[in-house]
Amino acid sequence: MRVPRTALLVFFGLLVGIAGTPAGAQISFTEHTLGGDPAGMYYRVGGSGPPLLLVHGFGVSGKEWDRFADDFASEFTVIIPDLPGHGESLRPLEPWDYEAVVSLLGKMLDELEVESAYAIGHSAGSTSILRMAISDLDRLRGMVLVGQTHRVPLATREAIRAYPDFSDLTGEDQELFASFHRNGPQQFSDLITQFRGLADDFVAYDLTPEHLSKVTIPTMVVMGDKDPFYPMDFVTEFYLALPNSALWVVPGQGHFPVWPEFGGDEKAAEDFPDRVRAFLSASG
146/60 Cα distance (integer angstroms): 15
Contact of 61 with 183, CB cutoff 8 Å = no
pLDDT over 50 (residue 11): no
283/261 Cα distance (integer angstroms): 30
* Helix residue spans in 96-167 (DSSP H): 98-111, 124-135, 154-161
Say how many C-beta atoms besides its own lie within 10 A of residue 256's C-beta.
27
Average pLDDT, the chain: 88
Residue 170 is predicted with a pLDDT of 87
All structural domains of the chain: 12-152+202-283 (3.40.50.1820)
Secondary structure of residue 178 in the 3-state scheme? helix
Task: Tell me whether strands 42-47 and 51-55 are parallel, antiparallel or unpaired.
Answer: unpaired
Q: Which residues lie across from 282 on neighbouring strands?
A: none
Give the model confidence (pLDDT) of 91-147 as tens digits.
999 888 999 999 999 999 999 999 999 999 999 999 999 999 999 889 999 999 999
142/150 Cα distance (integer angstroms): 18
Tell me which range, 20-34, 151-165, 188-202, 258-272, is most confidently predicted by mean pLDDT: 258-272
Average confidence (pLDDT) over 37-56:
95
Say how many C-beta atoms besides its own lie within 10 A of residue 8's C-beta.
21
Q: Which amino acid is at 168?
A: D
For residue 245, what are the contacts with CB-CB under 8 A and spacing of at least 6?
218, 219, 220, 221, 239
For residue 214, what are the contacts with CB-CB under 8 A and spacing of at least 6?
133, 134, 137
With cut-offs at 50, 70 and 90, classify the pLDDT of residue 284: low
